[in-house]
């Protein structure tokens, strides 16, 4: 347990976030480039991808709303921005670039939204919030990479738009474990529920009973 937890508790952080259906699943940037430790990956990302395969299967079986995101910059770099100034390699992620493609084991099915973005959040400047709202989503499970970057940014925006984020902790990964653990702690204290996959699915099943 973090030594600082008493401060958070004393100040009223970390309250439970009741889950409420309908449920949706957002898979953030599980693309080839983030699966490759020689490109943008490393850490526990490969393990998180493997853990997300049965989560995606469960979401499909239950008929949940499902969205994916990927980073896609224009072929001529005309949408070069502050994010790509900080991480110039992001400009290599183009529409037809293999590193920008969603990993084959999580390939989207017909009817699942694929959001293209040029910033960390899957919500900023995209139709994702409206698409989820139109389908009545209340609780949004979040998987993806990286925990401290695009996942965290998407979770904060999901909360800001009025969705109840549920971060599936063994289905998110980061290239370094320190930022991963710190971000899970931070999100659980301020923005989201955080559970491992099996615990999350069990809690959701209890909601449906």
Taking the CA atoms of 168, 42, 177 and 101 in sequence, report the sign of the dihedral they define.
Answer: negative
Q: Residue 114 — φ and ψ, nearest 5°?
A: -115, 115
Q: What is the mean pLDDT of the chain?
A: 96
Find residue 195's DSSP bridge partners: 168
Q: Which of 27, 102, 119, 150 is catalytic?
A: 150
Q: Give 2's pLDDT tier (boundaries 50, 70, 90).
A: low
- What is the arithmetic mean of pLDDT over 141-149? 98
Residue-wise pLDDT tens digits, 72-88: 999 999 999 999 999 99
d(CA 201, CA 188): 17
Q: What is the dihedral of CA 189, 53, 162, 73, to 10 degrees?
A: 100
- C-alpha span between 38 and 133 (Å, rounded): 37
Is 150 labeled as catalytic in the residue annotation? yes
In this predicted structure, the answer to whether residue 121 has a pLDDT above a threshold of 70 is: yes
Q: Let me know: does 75 contact 94? Beta carbons within 8 Å.
A: yes
pLDDT in tens, 37-86: 999 999 999 999 999 999 999 999 999 999 999 999 999 999 999 999 99
For the chain, what are the domain ranges?
A: 20-208
Other CB atoms within 10 A of residue 9 CB: 11
- What pLDDT score was predicted for residue 60? 98
pTM: 0.95
Judging by DSSP bridges, how do beta strands 139-145 and 65-71 pair with one another?
A: unpaired
Under CATH, what is the fold of the domain 20-208?
A: Rossmann fold (3.40.50)
């Amino acid at each position: 347990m973090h030594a600082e937890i008493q401060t958070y508790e004393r100040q009223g952080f970390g309250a439970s976030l009741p889950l409420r259906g309908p449920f949706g699943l957002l898979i953030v940037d599980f693309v080839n480039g983030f699966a490759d430790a020689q490109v943008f990956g490393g850490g526990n990302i490969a393990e998180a991808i493997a853990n997300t395969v049965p989560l995606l299967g469960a979401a499909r079986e239950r008929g949940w709303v499902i969205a994916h995101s990927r980073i896609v910059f224009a072929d001529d770099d005309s949408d070069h921005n502050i994010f790509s100034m900080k991480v110039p390699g992001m400009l290599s992620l183009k529409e037809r670039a293999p590193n920008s493609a969603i990993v084959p084991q999580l390939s989207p099915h017909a009817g699942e939204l694929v959001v293209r973005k040029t910033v960390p959040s899957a919500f900023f400047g995209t139709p994702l919030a409206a698409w989820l709202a139109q389908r009545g989503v209340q609780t949004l499970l979040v998987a993806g990479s990286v925990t401290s970057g695009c996942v965290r940014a998407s979770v904060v925006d999901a909360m800001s738009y009025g969705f109840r984020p549920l971060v599936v902790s063994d289905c998110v990964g980061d290239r370094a474990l320190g930022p991963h653990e710190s971000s899970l702690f931070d999100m659980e204290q301020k923005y989201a529920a955080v559970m491992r996959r099996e615990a999350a699915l069990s809690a959701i099943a209890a909601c449906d009973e």
